[in-house]
Structure 1
Amino acid sequence: MDDDKVRMTVGEVRELAETVLGRLGLAEPQVNAVAATIAAGERDGCTAHGLYRLLVCAHTIRAGKVNPDAEPRIHDPAPGVVRIDCQGGYAQIGFDAGRPLINDKARRCGIAALAINNCIHFAALWPEVEALARDGLVAFAFTPSHAWVAPAGGTAPLFGTNPIAFGWPRPGPHPFVFDFATSATARGEIELHRREGRRIPLGWGLDPDGDPTTDAAEALAGSMLTFGGHKGSALAAMVELIAGPLIGDMTSAESLAADGGAGASPLGGELIIAIDPEGFLGGAAAGHLTRAEQLFDGITGQGARLPSERRYQARERSLAEGVEVHAGLLKEIEALLDGTLTA
């Protein structure tokens, strides 16, 4: 173990997250749901979505941007649609409330949509699509964020990091899952580079004058860039539309305006689409899902890596050996508990 790292079990990570979130004033349902997501991020080697996010949560809660006692309200507008109003709470409680409903509707209708409205986002989307894929459904998830990302050819922030996630059920222990921001990288990755004094690659962001930069702080003050130029930009615009106006929620620019300079986590919506293969194929679904395995075999047979493969490997390793957390980060988290860090 490096001198500046501390080894913890995944259970200890979750217990620490629960303690901090409870101390910050969240009610138990949100404590449990948010801590599970943070622990999953640390467990799977996604440190930008792990314990570091406690600092983000603390700042957002103390800025008054989270309803600590939020109780999701469920709306049933159509046979294949569920709407969950999170009442200003974290998105995780909305997904927990909506998961059994979208499961049921997808199996009855073949396809169903879950709109999670008025929620706070701070994490990746793979936990949602992985959970639904483990339920045997094909799943998509989308959400805007704050306006941090310039469109291709522009220099002013307009889009959020706007992730897209997809899950496909497979035989064996793990579904096929990918989750990526439509920005060149997640904002949390740039923030971690800033905290650790590391340069960022060219292509991640622009400085406040609109010039390319490798300085993480300058990119955070300026604008991030989409991946793949105009292609990533088009996907980012799609996410703005289908997880914003389509479900009656905010765009990234509107979320940033509502933040009012607080620097809190984004407020807005999330759209999840779930498809039951049997809805299209009936009793033939299992055979076609088996046939789909030829695609995965074709990928790995060339020595290529499937998305999430490294996450699953990290998960297995973390559950057996624990995780290593920077001692400096743990000191900041401890300061949250004793009140010396205001986040």
Structure 2
Amino acid sequence: MLFALVPLFAAGAVQAGPVQTSPELSKELVINSYQLYPENIDYDTRTRLAYISVLYNSTVAVYDPFTNKVTKTIAFDKLSYDPVLHASGVQVDPLGRLSVIVNAGAAFDTRGANISGDNFLVKYDLQSDRELWRANLTAVTDGVYSGYQDIEHDACGNAFAVGTWPSSIVRVSKDGKDATAWYLTDDKDHTKKGLTGLASKGDILLATEHTGSRLLRFDMKADKGVPDVVPVGEDGIGEWPDGIYLPSKFGGKVLLVSSQLEGTVVLRSADGKWTSAQRLGVVPNKFEKQGGSTTASVEIEGRIFVSTEWFGDAANKVPGTLSGNRTEFPLYDITSEVEKLLV
């Protein structure tokens, strides 16, 4: 998480004024935005805005949780609204810039059978409202590794993009000039679903792996990524893991794994070093019976919200568009449920 910046005031007389209070945040948020279809979400405590990847349109929705409105849509030249592309990972980096993964959707639609097409990491300046650069992640391995879908950063702003079909992590320098294969699985069978999500604490990079239901630990300072398996017990990290998240309110000791089937799996590392972890339980997927899939969680002003995706709607696209006709997308608060598991 990024922490709010404290404004500095010039020396001199301070005029009395009304006490500034935080606006109230609703417990249950329902975003009313036609065809939003959120894949991932990140909240910037400095701007108090959330950034949501709009899966099928390959755009980013700027969302104000206090007014419960999408205030803006960020589109990318020659990427957004392309039917073969999807937007997935989204995160504000330590330098205050927005990172977005725009991937070739075929790998996910065919579960790795077809990994053709380019995947990009796009860097966007939120202050000047313009794209800074984009890096072609597919070109790094000449298309042998694909399915890039999540993003993390080190303290300097260098990016780590995770690929799923098969497992890989590409490191991209903060200026976008250097993209290298940081971790590549030896098994190049791209029909085996691999790494799915990333989360970081200091120099520790955590990754979920679909095959084997494993949690892996990397050192971001290393020249190359070498994974260590983090023991979590026989139940593993959850079925069909998607995004993962380390809420700042728990000091980096609690990892939330979004399982598309189960809901939000809660893992804890007692010392926060993540050499081992305990699976504490699951907060169930509230919309499982309605066809919703848990894909991401996010901390907003000290509370944990879950984002739900409705992949099944893609089978019934609105003519002339890239997705279904859904308008309401819930963000529901699971803070109390997570805290109960921590007792």
Give the TM-score taking structure 2 as reference length: 0.23
Q: Which has the higher strand share?
A: 2
Q: Which has the higher helix share?
A: 1
The structure showing larger relative contact order (alpha-carbon pairs under 8 Å, at least 6 residues apart) is 1
Give the TM-score taking structure 1 as reference length: 0.23
